[in-house]
Structures are given as C-alpha cells and as structure tokens.
Amino acid sequence: MYLCFMIFVTGGTGLVGSHVLLKLAKKGENLKALKRTNSSLEVCKNVFSFYNSDALFDKINWVEGDVNDIPSLTKGMQGCEKLIHCAAIVSFYASDADLLKKVNIEGTANVMNVALASDVKKVGFVSSIATLGRNSTLGMVDEECQFKITKLDSNYALSKYYAEQEVWRASNEGLDVVIVNPSVILGPGDWKKGSSQIFQKIHSGLKFYTAGSTGYVDVVDVANSLVALLFSDVKNERFIVNGANLKYRDCFDRIAVTFNKPKATIKVTPLLKEIAWRMESVRSYILGTKALLTRETANSAMTNSSFSTAKIKEFINFNFTDIDATIKKYADWFIKDLK
C-alpha cells in the first residue's frame, strides 16, 4: 500500500518524457515511469546529468512494459493519481503507418482505458500541432481550429489526431485531462533522430532551405507547461505550446551562426522538392537505408504555418523561453556531446 500518491509517466526514455520526469523529480514528486524492455535510458540519464540531477534520476521507479501491454500499464498506474502520457512514435515514413496506428492510437486508447479503470484522477497528454488543422487553416492557428484531412497531412498527423480523440473520449467518460500541442520541439535527445537532428544536419553543412515556416518550442517549455497544467485546476482543455513562429530558413540560419557554420544558400523550389524526395527514395532503396527526405517531410517544409499561444498565457500566465537562448543552449550541448 502506498503512503502517498504517485505520478505515472509513459515515454520517459524519450525527449519530452525525460524532461517531464526531471521537472517532476525536482518538485519532489513520487514517480513511476514506463520503460520498454529493450529501450535505453541514456537520453534520460543525460538530461538529468546535464542539470546536475543524477541523484534524482535514481529515485525514478521504472516499470518494464509497453503501451500495448495492459498488465504493465495496470501495474504502473497502481497507487497513482496523476498520469502523463508522452509515449509516441514520430515517423514520416509510409512504411511505418501500421506502427503509428499501433503505438499512437491503440496505445493511447489502452493508456486511457487503464487510467479510467484505476484510481487516476487527471491525465496530461502530449499531442501535436499536427492535430490542429494547420494544413486547412488560413492565418494564425489556435486551439479552436478543427482538423480536416488534406493531402498534405501525414500518417503521423493522422495518428496523433486519432490519439487525441481517445483522450477526449476518456474525458467524456469522467477523466480530467489537459492536452498540450507542441510545435517543432528543440532539445537534446538522440541527435540523429526526430527534431533533435536539426542540429546534427546543420552542423554537418546543410545547403538547402525552403520557403515554408512553422513554430518552434524549447522542450523544457513543453515539460514545464504540461506539469503546470497537470497541477492546476484547469481541466478538459488543450493548449498550443510554441516559443516562436519562424521561417525554416530563419531558424536554420540562427543555428548555423551559433555553430559558426555557413548558412544554407540553395532555395528549394516546388520542382526541386519533387525531384529531391524521389531521388532520395531511390537512393535509400538501393542502399537499404531509411530515406533522409520523404514526400511527407518535403511537403511539410514548403507550407507556412503560424501558431497562437494566447490561450496558455491567459490560463496559466505561461511565458516561453527566448528562441535564441534555446538554440544556443542546445547547440552548445551538441558540441559538448561531440567531444
């Protein structure tokens, strides 16, 4: 029997989840975190170590399991009153469509169902700006924008949209929920995966830029906003978390300057975009590797989207980290990890 309530976190070995665990550990919360048997703790350990919090890492109670393993979820949520669901697959490869469905949609449904059957009172969920209808919205995107499927929406976007619907279903069935919809997350995960690879690509000498734009946010802000909402009286609301709206070229130039690397100089035209992802597809097929550029990522890089943060500032008076401070912090971190 537990003497005090605990918080259960899924996805704790990833970029967002590791920062959520750090924030909760610094608050002195009792933690349990889901970990797949073969997943590495290195990202999470490195995050805690960077902030001189190695001792706090040792206080995490890791539960081996999976979002598609009901018994492990039941065990993890035993004695927990709060839950933060960060676990998800981020992929823009057509071949991963079934995996996205299995983990992001079915996994989220499982997490919500077990939460409803347990003593969990409130859930925080990491969604995405991809669920906000950015490809079907003219002008500034906010939380009231409705998702409409377009040819520009990726399998990832669809999986996160349907995952979010599972969270809203749980809300309708009596579970208090808060949802954050982050823009492109900048942070120090695996530098070769996800949004963290932006730093690796630019440090290696990125030559191309597109005319598109999107939002960027510090992973610390994602974690801090989610934890703040979880411990607030706010419930059954979703919030965009976005530090800055920037052109891709502007963001890439800022990172290049921080690295003291040449800025990208070749503009990607619509024709060049179509040629590029097809050539990359052929190259990856011949070499038997994952394509560095897909049709989905190529299309996304050509679109222009801006995101409003008025709602989260109104509800909890949340202020975001200056984007240049974010870029410098993670550029310096990347350089340190190279040594």
**pLDDT tens digits, 11-37:** 999 999 999 999 999 999 999 999 999
Tens digits of per-residue pLDDT, 52-93? 999 999 999 999 999 999 999 999 999 999 999 999 998 888
* CA-based R_g, the chain, Å: 20
pLDDT of residue 4: 53
- Give the pLDDT mean for 308-321: 97
pLDDT of residue 276: 66
142: exposed, middle or buried (Cβ count in 10 Å: 0-12, 13-18, 19+):
middle
DSSP, residue by residue, 6-21: EEEEESTTSHHHHHHH
Residue 298 has pLDDT above 70, yes or no: no
DSSP, residue by residue, 122-153: EEEEE--GGGS-GGG--S-B-TTPPP---TT-
Beta strands in 76-121 (DSSP E): 80-85
pLDDT of residue 28: 94
What does residue 84 show for φ and ψ, rounded to 5 degrees? -120, 120
pLDDT of residue 221: 98
Tens digits of per-residue pLDDT, 228-268? 999 999 999 999 999 999 999 999 999 999 999 999 888 87
Give residue 150's pLDDT band: very low, low, confident or very high (50, 70, 90): confident
Give residue 277's pLDDT band: very low, low, confident or very high (50, 70, 90): low
Q: Which pair of structure tokens corresponds to residue 84? A: 């933060």
CA gap 136, 145 in Å, rounded: 9
CA gap 254, 323 in Å, rounded: 10
User: Considering only CA atoms, which of 186, 180, 219 is closest in space to residue 312?
Assistant: 180
**Domains of the chain, earliest start first:** 6-186+215-243+306-321 (3.40.50.720)
Residue 2 has pLDDT above 50, yes or no: no
Q: What's the whole-model pTM score? A: 0.91
276: exposed, middle or buried (Cβ count in 10 Å: 0-12, 13-18, 19+):
middle
206-239 burial code (b ≥16 CB/10 A, e <16): bebbbebbbbbbbbbbbbbbbbbbbbeebeeebb
Tens digits of per-residue pLDDT, 98-129? 999 999 999 999 999 999 999 899 999 999 99
pLDDT of residue 60: 95
Tens digits of per-residue pLDDT, 151-183? 778 899 999 999 999 999 999 999 999 999 999
Q: Which pair of structure tokens corresponds to residue 150? A: 């377009």
Report CA-CA distances (Å) from 282 to 177, 288, 290, 294, 301. Answer: 44, 10, 11, 11, 20
- Give the pLDDT mean for 315-329: 97
Residue 290 has pLDDT above 80, yes or no: no
CA gap 111, 88 in Å, rounded: 12
Task: Give the DSSP H or E segment for 208.
Answer: strand 208-209
Q: Compute the mean pLDDT over every residue in the chain, rounded to the nearest whole number.
A: 90
pLDDT of residue 326: 97
Give residue 284's pLDDT band: very low, low, confident or very high (50, 70, 90): low
